[in-house]
Amino acid sequence: MTSEQALSISLGLQGPCVIARLTGDFDFGSAAEVRDRVTKALDLTQPPMLVIDMQAVSVCDSSGLSVLVYLHKAVTASGGRLLLAGLNGRCKHLFAITALDKFFDIRTTAELAIAELNEPPAFPE
């Protein structure tokens, strides 16, 4: 027996990074809202720099994965970067069996991801 936990989305800006913190079930019922709200937030920075913190995601299904791929394509097409952070055991396993752990840049914590995207770009000497 599973219990559903409604997804909450917290959006913020830290330096040039949009931070999306997801809590609950990232599934068919919440995927469209995540896509729409995060896509609108990407207009806050150019090029878009996005960290999606999934530390508190209890369930992620194919709809959630589809939204993450969509956001990755949107961000990279605009010259930006997307980092996922805090994948827990169930989500980490899902990413491994779908090989999406090879597609996405994943960091252990949102703080590490934010710090990486806030670093000024290195210029060759």
What's the CA gap between 45 and 12, in Å, rounded? 12
Task: Report if residue 22 sits inside a domain.
Answer: no
Encoded amino acid at 17, one letter: C
- Find the helix or strand (DSSP H, E) in which 23 lies: strand 17-26
Residue 80 has pLDDT above 90, yes or no: yes
In whole angstroms, how far apart are CA 69 and each of 48, 64, 121, 124?
15, 9, 25, 31
Task: Report if residue 10 sits inside a domain.
Answer: no
Q: Which domain holds residue 89?
A: 27-113
Q: Is the peptide bond before 120 cis (omega within 30 degrees of 0)?
A: no
DSSP-derived secondary structure letter, 109: S
| Model confidence pTM above 0.85 | yes
Structure tokens at 62: 């194919």
Number of domains within the chain: 1
At 90-103, the pLDDT tens digits run 899 999 999 999 99
Task: Report if residue 80 sits inside a domain.
Answer: yes
Task: Report if residue 61 sits inside a domain.
Answer: yes
